[in-house]
Chains A and B, each alone.
Chain A
Amino acid sequence: VASGARAWLLQRLTAVYMLLFLVIVLARFAADAPSSYEAWRSWIGAAGMRIATLLFVAAVLLHAWVGLRDVAMDYVHPPALRIGVLALVAAGLAAAGAWMALILVVL
């Protein structure tokens, strides 16, 4: 539940990482797309790629949390309703994160 400057900085840093990750992955695909499912699997399954992807998922979730929390602070004013909305958002993001982690670790 980062406050002012920390949340703002977190959103910017995660944005930079997401941009770098997407550019690199897209460039890799444009240059040399995996030709088969096996090739794709061995590419994404490499330890470095798994860690980078896991970091990317974490960045997406943190970025989304700061953004959606901002939306709730702007528009959802009744305290009980806001806590409910934020709890739903947090649960949804945590579930998405857990699912992605499961896929990337068990893969």
Chain B
Amino acid sequence: MRFSIYRFDPERDARPYMQDYELALDPHDRMLLDALMRLRAQDDSLAFRKSCREGVCGSDAMNINGRNGLACITRLTELKEPVTLRPLPGFPVIRDLVVDMGTFFDHYHAIRPYLVNDEPPPERERLQSPEERAALDGLYECILCGACTGFCPSWWWNPDRFLGPAALLQAMRFIADSRDRATAERLEFLDDAYRLYRCRTIMNCTEVCPKHLSPSRAIEHIRRKIVSEGL
């Protein structure tokens, strides 16, 4: 199988370049990550992140044949050759396919990704009805891989000020939580021309989410909530 992979080592290379690889697959190789592991055995200078290798940890998001996705759950049989691999677009490159997620996680922390509730805790736990719990479906499953944010043109233009689809989906996850008491503060923080309203409903985020979530819908719900709460 033929590969064309983005290479860049800031300590050695003046500029990034694409390197071609030829790889004999093992019959047991199923996913793109299997092939990448084999390539690294061939060339140990090739850098990429991975951990759980089953689409849960969100480490191996990259641009695969022009679309962002997780290498570990992308089937080799579905890829056109040469398989072109690049780092997540819009993120600063540290080396090869490894990107700097610093700004991405700054935005994540900015939406306060935890329950805010100063009421005295009940003896055992804060209960939710099945309906209240169901309101979190489609929001809590995000693994923060960055595939959506790295495919969002609005974020490419304003990565430092627009929070991006992943952080906004997470923001909605806590707005939707019946146990949270900071909805008004959360909405006030998001009612900003940059943080939320750079979104142009391009929907690239929903298109590429490897967990099939819809940040676009979450953003729409936040906007409606801001209007209905009269901010």
Contacts and interface: CB of A to CB of B under 8 A. Distances in A.
Interface in A26-69: none
A73 B198 contact: yes
B227 A9 contact: yes
Nearest to B161: A73
Contact of A4 (B154, B158, B197): B197
A97 B157 CA distance: 31
B111 to A, nearest CB: 15
A70 B196 CA distance: 12
> Which among B193, B194, B200 has the highest number of chain A CB atoms within 10 Å?
B193
Interface in B148-178: 154, 157-158
B157 A74 contact: yes
B197 A8 contact: yes
Interface residues of B, number: 17
A82 to B, nearest CB: 12
B80 to A, nearest CB: 32
B163 to A, nearest CB: 12
Contacts of B157: 74-75
A30 to B, nearest CB: 32
Contact of B231 (A5, A7, A73): A5
B193 A3 contact: yes
B158 A74 contact: yes
Given A74-B157, A74-B158, A75-B157, A4 B192 contact: yes
A54 B131 CA distance: 48
B57 interface: no
B198 A5 contact: no
B56 interface: no
A9 B194 CA distance: 15
B38 interface: no
B198 A74 contact: yes
Given A4-B193, A4-B226, A74-B154, 4 more contacts: A3-B192, A4-B192, A4-B195, A4-B196
Interface of A: 3-5, 7-9, 70, 73-75
